[in-house]
């Protein structure tokens, strides 16, 4: 995002055309940008918690099939479901942050286009 900020500042400072090298990022670069953003520590902590939830979920699912008493099976099934819900909640939180970063990038692109349009109108005014 910082390169886009620099391009916006450069467009405001001088008259130039819209840069051609602005491309749409893919899913991997969106995730990397989210992990390097303002709340990177929170995103990294969320991914650690997702990994822990998956590991605990697999262990609980395995233990579910190894139990002989019904109470233990219910306990491990409940733990498996709680881990799946935790994984889904963290995944949705990270996905919303990625969507937020994409929206901010689109707003900055519109900002850049408006700055270029304002400059063109100013240059062509009598």
Q: Which pLDDT score is estimated for 11?
A: 66
**Cα–Cα distance measured from residue 5 to residue 11, given in angstroms and rounded to the nearest whole number:** 10
Per mean pLDDT, which range of 9-13, 20-24, 44-48, 118-122 is the poorest? 20-24
Q: Identify whether the C-beta of residue 33 lies closer than 8 Å to the C-beta of residue 102.
A: no
Encoded tokens for 89: 């909640």
Residue 45 in this model has a pLDDT that exceeds 90: yes
**Cα–Cα distance measured from residue 119 to residue 11, given in angstroms and rounded to the nearest whole number:** 9
Residue 30 in this model has a pLDDT that exceeds 90: no
Q: Where are the domains of the chain?
A: 36-124
Helices (H), ranges, 14-39: 27-35
Q: Which pLDDT score is estimated for 117?
A: 86
Model confidence pTM above 0.85: no
């Amino acid at each position: 995002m910082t390169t886009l900020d620099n391009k916006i500042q450069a467009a405001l400072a001088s008259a130039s055309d819209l840069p051609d090298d602005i491309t749409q990022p893919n899913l991997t670069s969106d995730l990397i940008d989210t992990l390097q953003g303002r709340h990177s520590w929170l995103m990294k902590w969320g991914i650690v918690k997702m990994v822990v939830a998956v590991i605990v979920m697999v262990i609980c699912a395995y233990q579910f099939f190894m139990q002989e008493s019904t109470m233990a099976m219910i306990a491990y099934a409940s733990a498996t479901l709680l881990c799946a819900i935790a994984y889904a909640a963290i995944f949705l939180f990270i996905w919303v942050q990625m969507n937020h970063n994409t929206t901010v990038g689109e707003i900055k692109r519109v900002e850049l286009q408006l700055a270029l349009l304002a400059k063109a109108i100013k240059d062509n005014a009598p």
